[in-house]
Structure 1
């Protein structure tokens, strides 16, 4: 009996002696509500502590408790809270961001110890870069939230805004820790499979399920293509990361010492791996570089996790902060793949009377598989939506989310759902879309484009017009569009009409019929300037240059055979009816003629190895190439039968590429070469595009006059370079303005055959002088060089161009200043 009491006493004593306390909780950002991973949580006055996980959670077990618990993390103000003597308790923290100030570190002797760690990490990049894998695939979950924040008092006092807040009074208001209201306007969730292959570098995302709710969102299929993980790729093993269209240098880039300083803070345990913890600092605060913390595996020198920020001092517009948090896991082959990525982009108030914007992106990946690459044909379409992608119950999402929604996110969903039903919100959101796209959706039809509603020029006087196009609600196989305009001076009706049959949306295949009666200008045709809306509008107001009535009928066909390889063809009949004094000499007879008809058959091939393509409604749209150039080769045959008067051939070759040149910025070039075979009137030649407007355009030679030169064989190179902050970031008085230098070089070689010169008379049948075309000397190129400043007052760009050759031509301008408005980050 005594023995039993003794055992019981020992058990009770033991349980009291080894009794554990548990303190758990979550650490979040007070301004965004998002988790803060990797924060240090410590029982104050002890060495007992832990780091928060990727979701900001922590859990500490201790034999004894102190009176308080402390949380600290780089870029935030540390916080301390009191502890109770409870066995288990939950203590949550909301940390306030602090202004980052680069610290000064003094090393007594030798090299900074962090440098050798970075040197080893850079030297072993190939061991861990996922691009070293032949192929891999993952199953991803992505969620995106966009909120309006920093709502100013002036903004809140607007009548339209007060109407919104009055309706939202019944919903729990979302606020940050400082009491500022956050107004959610968009939330999406996407479940997808992501596929990658290295050679050639191709990506594909199959969206299995997607749920999108947002103010002004009417077409879930288009939005769902860009809310998956394909657009949330951040690989720090690249030297440069493309974020919001800018190139940011990685902390483990090959040239790291030119951009960064480092501080070795500690050696810590992350999971089962012992890691070096390093703080990262940009050498120049204006550079597009990161500040923050990185963890490097002590044994392998592979990245374990990162928490990096691009501060507001960087040479960016509107953006106050970009924050990227990422943790990586090794694949079976060794290279690392991000298992979780969180990105925050905070956009400040453009003016004191407006609001700011906060965008949050989260992606988690599991079921990682490494294997042999799938065939290139598998990657034909970059993003594919499964047929039932938008058909899933809330129960399905609860069962299949890789991470559950927080209470705050559930409140966000409710608020967005309420907001998009408010009439004034719908009015403003539709108005913004109308301004941006040119079209106003009304049911199954879009009305527009608004730039065609009103025009004024010397031929038509006041011109009024209206058009429409059907959208995907009408049909995903048929697309109809039309436009009609009337000039009150020439009393002529102009019109266009088009019907398109989409035969295959996977291997994009379509056939179209098109008819048009319109006023065009030689060398300034609407069809070639549709992507330059400001320049096109400016060139069609006032005095028209060599205008003509174009009556056109066309049938065209296109098909994408495999990833990036598109074949297109068309058959076009066109009537040229000049509205200015024009004549040419007919081949064979030598008679004067002022009108002509052409019947032209064209076939072309386009190849973009890594071009990103989206299917927007019933249109195929390019997001441009990632790395490789886009090639376009076409051949056209003009036939003097089927209504045509002229026989000729045209051959054209075009290349476009975007080049990242590291610390020096980004370049873009366009090479265009071609030849016209046969004797033709000069409107059929290549009429090189000049620019007599005040507006800059990359499509034209900006010191060349309209219709100054035409060629039947030519080759041109237009090169544009954006220095970003490379030059002006180093000038003390200018770097605070965040101006950015730009440069241009445009070169053109061309010539005209003797036969085509001969069929262009200098006088009409009555002996009056005719406007003719200028000719380039094949041994003397047209050259113009330019330089300029962009980002003036965040919206303005000014370019200065010097014309280097053909300065003796009538009306030649040796120097030109062009302006343009832009919204760039």
Structure 2
């Protein structure tokens, strides 16, 4: 939570203009006026250069002073242009075609041939030898790693610099610089440096990174920000078919599917570090796909990459990212080994992709050194975890950084450390920070009390029972490593005129095993049955209880009094075992909804109140999950890990006047899978069984969705309590193609829409004994007032004749933030009030 400055600064600052020694920018055309992409632009007498983008535009700068710049491209005559001044913007360059082209190289323009193309022949040799290159050829390896992460605000004009927003904070613009990739001025606002030692074992497929030092501007003790940023720029292997950035799968230019996605041109050949290398230019075959453009140099004997640069295609279907630029350099260890020595990653975040739009740079520079091989470490070493926050690592002195920093910081990067320290003393900035903190976390910080007020966004709610509902609450917060935390809330419904409240606390007893005890009490109105697995979160409340607009009347709410104590432990990494004891009192909160059940064998006496004591044993396994912090609460810093959940519930009849003894088993699994360039498939399955006879409140209603929101793991065309089971199995599949289909339709491809399909199904049963026990409740659900009461069969209550299913077709990325799904009910349309078709939607910020 204390990391919100980083997110707020994305929209807070802008930048001023400064000048380097030599700068050039402009466009390159042929004699017919067509823009020429991938033209080499180099300062004469130097190795400092760039290539034009797909629109023929270029920008190049140098700290040195140069008098000439050379433009060259195969098939065209070289052109050398004199530079009359240090800054030369908006140059218009025209190249003439050569009278005779080179005979030994075939030149391709536009869409290149997949056959008889020397560049593609070289690409096939890279595929054949990629397993023999890099670290994979060694059993074990270790190396030193230096990583610098930086966030910069870019592209503003003097009018904004002088605006009232920055009055009193003008000094921040003293640190502006100019990007040598985009030519934009920028202001560094966050710098993080890390030095670590990396150990790997290819025999057991394990990697361990040992952090030796960390230093940053403004977040010296915030591992959450550091973890978030590092996951944003995760490591990648250019030899892989797909590269994962910003929750997207980009086709690598070295992918085996590359010839279907890219055009390749053999451009040049030369000695690099005494190794003969070929230069290949590549660019996308189609627009709007997640692809790059750029070039790479490859050795002619090992077929290992020596250098590569990748720039995001301007038309790529990705939000909030205007530019991605990457460079990797590989050093020659010996005649057969090329190892990564430098990795540079720049991304330009912006609200739109217009040339002059303001945004923020995120940059990562990683340097690798001191490689050692085949030094075997004990297998247990890779599984050891750090359980305590080591302040020494985050407070290394200047001597440590002078010795271990493998790349000197620029003047502006050094200045940002001092600038932020000064900025935090400015009252106006502190007020802006507080506003940004609320937007990012939902809590308002009161540091003097070590208390956070919120969540702000839960202040208002609405349902048919409570009417308008207001809520206030908060939590203790000393730091993100707090060993204990207290939370609570108060609420009031203006229709039922009843107050609600809840309080909970948790305490971390042992950091190594993450032994946590917790407890709390809540008295509230809730929509039980909104999910198949019952949450034991004392303060939890689902959207079904608070939706402002519903597709059908939602009066099936329950008054709940819940007392709960629990203990949990992490047996091994990401494997959590938890034991709960809870006492619940449940009764209907609505006059039009019944939870009545028979209390005697003769079925003459009923009650609508249930008192139930239970023990719940839960296991949650989430392999691959990464977290930050060492306190009672940790934050997840990555995505795309699977989740497995298993629980056993035992009802304790007679304990504290508990009404029922029963057993219930439940299991669920969920995984999001990147399907190469075809998008993302999300799969979820749940199974469960309740033994013995229990009231409706303890059964497993199939989770309906009467809101207008698309909610995964619910059934959009089912009403609440339309189906109820005591055993069930469900499967939900949703595939987001990421625009792969729409991008091929002429009138749609410019909109960057994303197509989504889904199918959801469940089969379940309910015993006749449970029907007989709950006949009063089921009659109120099945029959309207005045209708004759007939025999109730299991097929009327549960989807036992055939699996209930529904499917959906959706369009996402509407205006970058909206998604609309059209949902179709597949069967059981004969049931009363069946909704055959419906529309749901969602809102969110996604790349």
> Does the TM-score normalized on the shorter chain lie above 0.5?
yes
1:96 positional shift:
8.9
Measured at CA, do residues 717 and 275 of structure 1 come closer, stay the same or move farther in structure 2, by a change above 3 Å?
same
CA distance in 2, matches of 1:803, 1:354: 44
1:113 equivalent among 111, 118, 124: 118
Measured at CA, do residues 807 and 209 of structure 1 come closer, stay the same or move farther in structure 2, by a change above 3 Å?
same
Q: Is the 8 A contact 2:152 2:361 kept in 1?
A: yes
Structure 2 partner of 1:3: none
2:458 equivalent among 430, 452, 455: 452
* 1:192 equivalent in alignment to 2:179: no
Structure 2 partner of 1:808: 830
* 1:796 equivalent in alignment to 2:801: no
Structure 1 partner of 2:217: 213
CA distance in 2, matches of 1:109, 1:483: 65
Compute the TM-score of the two structures, normalised by the length of structure 2.
0.81
1:482 equivalent among 484, 488, 512: 488
Q: Report the number of matched residues.
A: 770
With 422-431 and 650-659 compared, the bigger mean Cα shift is at 422-431
CA distance in 2, matches of 1:659, 1:746: 17
1:776 positional shift:
2.4
Root-mean-square deviation (CA, aligned residues, Å) is 4.2
1:790 positional shift:
0.7
SS in 2 for 1:124: helix
Q: Is the 8 A contact 1:152 1:354 kept in 2?
A: no
The one-character-per-residue Cα deviations of 1:175-218 (angstroms, maximum 9, x if unpaired) are: 5699965333322112223344557755543332222224xx58
Q: Is the 8 A contact 2:465 2:555 kept in 1?
A: no
* 1:565 equivalent in alignment to 2:570: no
Measured at CA, do residues 504 and 95 of structure 1 come closer, stay the same or move farther in structure 2, by a change above 3 Å?
farther
Structure 2 partner of 1:128: 133
> What runs of 5+ residues in structure 2 fail to find an aligned partner?
1-19, 27-37, 51-59, 96-106, 786-791
With 774-783 and 351-360 compared, the bigger mean Cα shift is at 351-360
1:744 positional shift:
0.5
Q: Is the 8 A contact 1:188 1:227 kept in 2?
A: no
The one-character-per-residue Cα deviations of 1:226-267 (angstroms, maximum 9, x if unpaired) are: 455895302112111110111001111121211111111111
Structure 1 partner of 2:671: 657
Structure 1 partner of 2:402: 398
Measured at CA, do residues 312 and 459 of structure 1 come closer, stay the same or move farther in structure 2, by a change above 3 Å?
same
Structure 2 partner of 1:603: 617
CA distance in 1, matches of 2:801, 2:749: 43
1:659 positional shift:
1.4
Structure 2 partner of 1:147: 152
The one-character-per-residue Cα deviations of 1:574-633 (angstroms, maximum 9, x if unpaired) are: 111322333112365743121112211122222233233333764234456656x43222
CA distance in 2, matches of 1:58, 1:67: 8
The one-character-per-residue Cα deviations of 1:367-426 (angstroms, maximum 9, x if unpaired) are: 334444653674365998544222222343223211111123223334333444433333
1:359 equivalent among 357, 362, 370: 362
Measured at CA, do residues 110 and 194 of structure 1 come closer, stay the same or move farther in structure 2, by a change above 3 Å?
closer
Compute the TM-score of the two structures, normalised by the length of structure 1.
0.83
Q: Is the 8 A contact 2:461 2:548 kept in 1?
A: no
1:812 positional shift:
0.9
2:683 equivalent among 644, 669, 675: 669
SS in 2 for 1:538: coil
Q: Is the 8 A contact 2:198 2:208 kept in 1?
A: yes
> What runs of 5+ residues in structure 1 fail to find an aligned partner?
1-24, 32-37, 61-65, 84-90
Which runs of structure 2 are paired with 1:590-629 in the superposition (5 Å)? 590=603, 591-615=605-629, 618-623=632-637, 626=640, 629=642
With 321-330 and 804-813 compared, the bigger mean Cα shift is at 321-330
Structure 1 partner of 2:16: none
CA distance in 2, matches of 1:784, 1:106: 43
The one-character-per-residue Cα deviations of 1:622-675 (angstroms, maximum 9, x if unpaired) are: 456656x43222211111132221111111111111212112111110111111
Measured at CA, do residues 690 and 198 of structure 1 come closer, stay the same or move farther in structure 2, by a change above 3 Å?
farther
With 455-464 and 348-357 compared, the bigger mean Cα shift is at 348-357
Q: Is the 8 A contact 1:311 1:320 kept in 2?
A: no
Q: Is the 8 A contact 2:717 2:837 kept in 1?
A: yes
Q: Is the 8 A contact 1:510 1:559 kept in 2?
A: yes
1:290 positional shift:
1.3
CA distance in 1, matches of 2:368, 2:231: 9
Which runs of structure 2 are paired with 1:577-726 in the superposition (5 Å)? 577-580=587-590, 581-586=594-599, 588=601, 590=603, 591-615=605-629, 618-623=632-637, 626=640, 629-643=642-656, 644-726=658-740
Q: Is the 8 A contact 2:462 2:545 kept in 1?
A: no
Structure 2 partner of 1:505: 511
With 144-153 and 651-660 compared, the bigger mean Cα shift is at 144-153
* 1:522 equivalent in alignment to 2:536: no
1:478 positional shift:
1.6
